[in-house]
């Protein structure tokens, strides 16, 4: 009885090894491309095809997303430098010496004395 159990175990392991070796042999020599082999492996082949297509699609998607990200970063950098340039130009124009020069170019003179407050009696403008 013990011999029979051992022989059954050997047959099971022999069948498992036989299946793996048959599968590998079928893949290597091209038997899986025959009609029966193709039909047998069709779901697996379709699954691998779907995986390859999705892998390629995701690669292109991330590549285009990365390109867009770099493009936006460059635009931000360019706009920041433009903002800084305009800000410095505004600061230069706001300086008193620049204002005086612009006023002289218009033919006006800068006042030498500060403005004075003129006080008027109440009701002066109501006449």
Mean pLDDT (the chain) is: 84
For residue 7, what is the enclosing H or E element? helix 2-29
Q: Confirm if 92 and 98 have CB atoms less than 8 A apart.
A: yes
Distance (Å, rounded) from C-alpha 63 to C-alpha 51? 18
Q: What is residue 4's predicted lDDT score, i.e. its pLDDT? A: 64
Q: Which residues contact 41 (CB under 8 A, 6 or more apart)?
A: 32
Report the length, in residues, of the chain. Answer: 127
37-83 residue pLDDT tens: 677 778 888 999 999 999 999 999 999 999 999 999 999 999 999 99
Report the predicted TM-score, pTM, of the whole model to 2 decimal places. Answer: 0.49
Share of the chain above pLDDT 90, in %: 38
CB 52 within 8 A of CB 58: no
- From CA 19, how far away is CA 121, in angstroms rounded? 116
| Cα separation, 57 vs 121, whole angstroms | 84
């Amino acid at each position: 009885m013990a011999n029979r159990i051992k022989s059954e175990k050997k047959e099971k392991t022999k069948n498992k090894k036989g299946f793996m070796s048959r599968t590998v042999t079928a893949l290597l020599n091209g038997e899986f491309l025959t009609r029966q082999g193709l039909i047998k492996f069709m779901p697996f082949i379709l699954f691998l095809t779907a995986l390859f297509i999705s892998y390629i699609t995701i690669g292109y998607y991330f590549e285009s997303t990365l390109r867009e990200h770099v493009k936006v970063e460059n635009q931000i950098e360019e706009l920041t430098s433009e903002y800084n340039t305009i800000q410095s130009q505004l600061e230069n124009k706001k300086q008193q010496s620049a204002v005086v020069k612009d006023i002289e170019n218009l033919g006006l003179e800068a006042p030498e004395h500060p403005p004075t407050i003129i006080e008027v009696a109440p009701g002066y403008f109501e006449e």
